[in-house]
Structure 1
Amino acid sequence: MSGNHHNSTAVRLAYGSIAFFLTALHNIFIIYYVDLFITVYKIDQVSFWIGETIFLIWNSLNDPLFGWISDRKSLSSSSNGANEGASPEIVLKRVRTIRIYGPLFAISFMSLWIRWAWPGLQFILCLCLYDGFLTIIDLNFNALLADLAVSVSGRSYLNSYCSVFSGLGTTTVFLSYAVWNRTDLVKFQIFCGVLTIVSAFGFFISATILSSEYRKMNKLNIQSVEPPTTAMGEGISRDTSRSQNVGVRLFLSQVLINKNFLSFSVMNLLQVFHCHFNSNFFPLFLHYLLGDYVSPITASILLGVSFVVPHFSNIYLLSLCRRYGVYNIVQSLFYTKLIIGLIMLTFGSHWPRLLCLFIVSNRIFTEGICKLLNLAISDLIDEDYVQFNRKEPISALMFGVAAFISKPGQTIAPLVGSWMIESVTGKSLFKTDFGEIKISNDNEMKIVDFRQGCFNVLVGISIGCAIAQIVTWSFYELRDQKLKDVKQARRKIELGEEQQKIYPAAYSTVDETRQQMYNYDIKNV
């Protein structure tokens, strides 16, 4: 049983360090990649849309694909009730995957910032390569949250370390803005090169320490827990007598009839879209809405603060989650986002200080919500584990399927954002130098109109997302007493009690049709 390994300080520090390097690289990517290809590499609009479409497909498919490769041996139905939770073997395979692919992820990050091919081709190759390695790291890293801890408090404490280290990782945003120059990328390229080298070694060392500490706690020998592996760390299982594997069709049918999973996935799709919209267009909004009121240094500070604060505020939010539950805190943040948007809409775009506060707080709230959602996915993993009598929790695959539905928001954000700005303002971001228009007496009215259009898009998307999320999240029922029943059921399973005696108590509401379908498919696998 691995549910209490989060209590080790060494494990928490190693887990947090992985979050540090992941955040340090990814924040630079989401801020600058759109600006880089549009204004520096001068990619044309058709190539940009084609690239984003290909990226959308790949970005959506690779999550469930890699999740399936990672967890397919765990997709089995135990006939003797001998479920033990996440085994040491599966945890060590996840850590080993991070150790191998972390440095490769860092190298793929660097491939963005040096022009080595036609912009349209480089755009497609770099995005797909970067996202492929990111997905492998992200799935296994997030799955460890569910595998290392079971209780809400345990996961929130582990997530707190993650938040602290991620907050420290966002300091790269301050430094990046200081060296970012669209006309001369040399300093920025040197900065990214150093960041790549440090992160590559950091992933390897952090994962090695995490693996070592985990082995010590389990008193495991390296030969006894590391069978031959595939590229995704998939071990060749020698235990084939305990259960029968569950097919892809059965698993998807189980997941997609789960009301809680569907409610979460739609809400998360909107959240991913809103987060990436804010990140992709943050420099543009700073330039056009606040360019006349803040200096470049102040803009750099605002950008950095908007990335740092969500991680540290998340520590406080996690303490509230332990007290009031994830559902209630997330729902409260949606209402807060809606109220702030309505206030800004009422005052308009002619209040610089209020607008500055809104732009920063809007991103802080959206990112703050994102940081909490891994806890909700972990609860869904527990629900799936208990409900369908899994041999082991299928953490990576659940994160992958959730991402399959939500990840399109990452690609849709720059497409919808650029389209909305052009529709509202009549100005295409692809026909002029992004963010480089100078205000003069001749075009002052045009710029004022553009500012108002940007303001309308910024506030309108914030209000629209908040309303839609409040509605979809209200259908999520894995909370309060039902969530307590699931947690209690998983603890009993990991203590060795027979799951057949626990399952009905925790899931008395599972309908007969679903169970009949499940039994039929098991016989025909």
Structure 2
Amino acid sequence: MMSLRCRLKGRVEFYYGAMAFFQTVLHNIFLLYHVDLFVSVYKIDKMSFWIGETIFLIWNSFNDPLFGWLSDKQYLSPSKKNSENSNSALEIVTNRLNALMYNGPLLAVSFILFWFPWGFPGLQFVVCLCLYDGFLTLVDLHHSSLLADLAVSAKERTKLNTMSSLFSAFGSASVFFSYSVWSKENLHSFRIFCSCLAVFAFVGFVVAANLMKQERKRTLKKSFSYDDSWSNRSDEYDDPVGPSVKPGIGTFVSQLGKQYNFIWFTIMNLIQVFHCHFNSNFFPLFLENLLGNSVSSSFGSFLIGISFLAPHVNNLFFLELCKRYGVYAVIQLLFSIKLALSLFMFFMGPNNMWLLCLFIASNRVFTEGTCKLLNLVISDLVDEDYVIHNRKKAVSALIFGSTALLSKPGQTLAPLVGIWLLSIQTGHDIFQTSDKIVSLQVDEAGQNSPEQYRQGCFNLLVYIPILCAIVQIAVWSQFKLHGHRLRWVKSCRTGTDHSLI
């Protein structure tokens, strides 16, 4: 009986990881090439680029809490019947899977729209960004929420996150192949490659979501109930302490504003999202201008691929550390490593090619590695919100969406701030060139020499992680949802203790 139950859980973990795989094969390509495509190939003008990014910033900031609210607002109200409560956990997960089954294929369709010119560059830029990010948000929101809805215990959540990281590592293989077909002069092969990825992901989302739903039905037919590790507990602790209220959006925002752990996490996550996307957007620039002819194109392809693959592989090791020392301590360690490596590279300078190769790759590894652990922290914030506000059911999508309200703007700010800082450091405006984004422009007065440009790129490479790490270490020290506080929240969530000692 127990072995069959474990097999069923294992299949759920497998399908959960598979959906991360299909998202990764598309999103890594988007991160790496979309800015370069519009600036260097479609020749978008500076004004259209900034207008598009501004519109995207607004949409990107508010679609997460909007979709989270639409998904989970009914769960904020107390249920009237205990029978309804006992089935609501099952309904929540089923609704999440239905959303993934429909929005995953739409994400694949919106991904295709980037790579084929169909309108004015400025119009295509903003439409593609908003469509893609809308469906990406829906997929990521419901997939991440499943982490909190399927599991309560840290052990089970770590298993789900481990499977997700493992499949994401396989999904990073798309980056290895993409660099070999990427050519700004002729995008034919690259477009075929992206079309194949989109079709593959389209089918994959439908199949994985359906199989996961079937697995749940098979579990019910075998009369296996989900224990507190899989979030279908009996609701013996559903009665809230104090009067029952029906909260609206204003009440929820007010409650969230008083959760200081949520606020500190959001500030830290804003910087983390900014740094992750900065690394992805400017990776080709650093590769070409800092390494130049010192490395072959095949090695460049390998370095890009490794930088996307290694964070997922390393995350398997980081998750093991989380089991032993806790997520808080591991993230704190990763911030310290990022700061130490950046300072070391700053003092070594830009002339050691192999150290540069190692730093460019490791910078992404440790930054992305931190990002992969943050869903575990948000799941703990879901638990804390559930406990301190005496909710009938955890509002996972709302919490995940709300954390993105102030953190996802970092995705938009990364290319804008990066381009602005690049202009300050090098005196070079990429919108004034008819050549590629990473080309060296030397004016007649010799004020913008290749060596000055290279030094400016190096400064950008090391200054950003140093500043990000310093601020993140300071902010993360204020986060208190770990140790005794976290143990108390977990005990309350599983119904073993409702007293704070």
Whether TM exceeds 0.5 here: the answer is: yes
Contact 1:266/1:406, CA 8 A, preserved across alignment: yes
User: Which residue of 2 is the match for residue 267 of structure 1?
Assistant: 268
Alpha-carbon separation, structure 1, partners of 2:400 and 2:67:
10
Report the Cα offset of residue 439 of structure 1: 9.2
User: Which residue of 1 is the match for residue 450 of structure 2?
Assistant: 447
Report the Cα offset of residue 435 of structure 1: 4.4
Deviation by residue 1:115-157 (Cα, 9 ceiling, x = unmatched): 0000000001000000001111110000000011111111111
SS at match of 1:412: helix
One-letter identity of the residue aligned with 1:418 = I
Report the Cα offset of residue 330 of structure 1: 0.1
Contact 1:97/1:137, CA 8 A, preserved across alignment: yes
Report the Cα offset of residue 100 of structure 1: 1.0
Matches within 5 A, 1:238-277: 245-277=246-278
Q: 1:85 to 1:318 in 2, by over 3 A?
A: farther
1:20 lines up with 2:21 in the alignment:
yes
Contact 1:5/1:11, CA 8 A, preserved across alignment: no
User: Which residue of 2 is the match for residue 231 of structure 1?
Assistant: none
User: Which residue of 1 is the match for residue 483 of structure 2?
Assistant: 480
Q: 1:269 to 1:189 in 2, by over 3 A?
A: same
Report the Cα offset of residue 260 of structure 1: 0.4
Contact 1:67/1:399, CA 8 A, preserved across alignment: yes
Q: 1:329 to 1:49 in 2, by over 3 A?
A: same
1:178 to 177, 180, 183: 180
Say what the alpha-carbon RMSD is for the aligned residues.
2.2
User: Which residue of 2 is the match for residue 90 of structure 1?
Assistant: 92
Q: 1:21 to 1:328 in 2, by over 3 A?
A: same
Q: 1:356 to 1:6 in 2, by over 3 A?
A: farther
Alpha-carbon separation, structure 2, partners of 1:430 and 1:212:
52
Contact 1:88/1:218, CA 8 A, preserved across alignment: no
Alpha-carbon separation, structure 1, partners of 2:28 and 2:374:
18
One-letter identity of the residue aligned with 2:452 = D
In the alignment, structure 1 segments of 5+ residues that lack a partner are 222-241, 494-501, 509-525
Report the Cα offset of residue 212 of structure 1: 0.9
Deviation by residue 1:324-378 (Cα, 9 ceiling, x = unmatched): 0000000000000000011001111111111111110001110000000000000
Deviation by residue 1:77-136 (Cα, 9 ceiling, x = unmatched): 468999669610010000011001111110000001000000000001000000001111
SS at match of 1:291: helix
1:105 lines up with 2:141 in the alignment:
no
Alpha-carbon separation, structure 2, partners of 1:200 and 1:124:
23
Alpha-carbon separation, structure 2, partners of 1:385 and 1:86:
15
One-letter identity of the residue aligned with 1:255 = L
User: Which residue of 1 is the match for residue 469 of structure 2?
Assistant: 466
Alpha-carbon separation, structure 2, partners of 1:68 and 1:382:
17
1:161 to 160, 163, 178: 163
One-letter identity of the residue aligned with 1:165 = F
Report the Cα offset of residue 440 of structure 1: 9.6
Contact 2:440/2:453, CA 8 A, preserved across alignment: no
In the alignment, structure 2 segments of 5+ residues that lack a partner are 224-242
Q: 1:140 to 1:49 in 2, by over 3 A?
A: same
Deviation by residue 1:280-330 (Cα, 9 ceiling, x = unmatched): 000010000001211111000000000001001101100100110000000
Alpha-carbon separation, structure 2, partners of 1:6 and 1:204:
22
One-letter identity of the residue aligned with 2:157 = R
Q: 1:475 to 1:438 in 2, by over 3 A?
A: closer
Report the Cα offset of residue 5 of structure 1: 8.4
> Could you tell which deviates more after superposition, 29-38 or 75-84?
75-84
User: Which residue of 1 is the match for residue 297 of structure 2?
Assistant: 296
User: Which residue of 1 is the match for residue 226 of structure 2?
Assistant: none
Alpha-carbon separation, structure 2, partners of 1:87 and 1:315:
29
Report the Cα offset of residue 434 of structure 1: 2.7
Deviation by residue 1:3-31 (Cα, 9 ceiling, x = unmatched): x9897111111111100000000000011
Number of paired residues?
475
User: Which residue of 2 is the match for residue 32 of structure 1?
Assistant: 33
Matches within 5 A, 1:363-512: 363-432=364-433, 433-435=435-437, 437=439, 446-492=449-495, 502-503=497-498, 505-506=499-500
Contact 2:428/2:448, CA 8 A, preserved across alignment: no
One-letter identity of the residue aligned with 1:397 = L
Contact 1:107/1:196, CA 8 A, preserved across alignment: yes
Q: 1:151 to 1:96 in 2, by over 3 A?
A: same
Report the Cα offset of residue 424 of structure 1: 1.1
SS at match of 2:390: coil
